[in-house]
Homo-oligomer: A and B are copies of this chain.
Amino acid sequence: MPEQSSLTESQNKIFNFITRYVAEHKRPPSVREIQKQMKYKSTNAVAEVLDALEKKGYIARRSGARSIEILQQDDLMNFGFGSPALDKVAPVPLMSVDWFAKGEKMKPISNLYLDKMLTQNRECMLLRVDDDGMEKSGILKRDMVLVEKREPSASDKDVLVAAICEDGAIVRSYRFINERVHLVASSRSYSERVINPNEKFPEALVVGVVLSLFRNILR
């Protein structure tokens, strides 16, 4: 990930406040509302933090009142609008993987129903990650990944893909080099897999692009 320059305590506080405020009120806060929240006695205290946030690329400002715009879109929920409705749910098949050297198979075990805000209206499936190859990227064995069923395109830079292979389902970084697909783990101890386009029985089969991650915490 492109490590965002880190924030100081007050910068983090204010940035969090802004995101919460926007989510709740559907408009950015004014400088003086931030001031009140932070219990500052001068608006300039806010102004300087906003300058820093802007310089670090967390926000942008235009002219006029309430002009703060949040630049992070990794927000997952850019909950601007979304009113709840049931047509907002999509069935997502939970797939189990059977791999045979000659022909792979994936079978739906059951359907989970997920809000379309999560599936982003794409054709998805759920897979259980079967190794620790992406541990360093925060994806652990036994995590569930929500995968969009599609072949990565050339424009996909540094996406994570799900693939099935001997070991079951795995997640890897996707690189396209010299007509070949390279599947790269984040841990060095996992070797790179290279897929030749002409290969009849490749050692791994890319099944889609990883959209998000789901992990059970409570045992």
**Chain A residues proximal to chain B, CB less than 8 Å:** 12-13, 16-17, 20, 22-28, 30, 64-67, 69-70, 72-89, 91, 94, 96-98, 107, 109-115, 117-118, 128, 130-131, 138-140, 142, 144-145, 148, 159-160, 166-168, 209-219
Contacts and interface: CB of A to CB of B under 8 A. Distances in A.
Main secondary structure of the interface of A (DSSP, over half): mixed
B83 A74 contact: yes
Given A67-B27, A212-B215, A85 B79 contact: no
For A138, A209, A215, the residue with the greatest tally of chain B CB atoms inside 10 Å of its CB is A215
A183 B57 CA distance: 32
Nearest to A148: B218
5 contacts: A20-B98, A76-B215, A77-B109, A84-B113, A160-B217
For A66, A69, A85, the residue with the greatest tally of chain B CB atoms inside 10 Å of its CB is A85
Contact of A80 (B26, B82, B219): B26
Contacts of A74: 83, 85, 142, 216, 219
A184 to B, nearest CB: 15
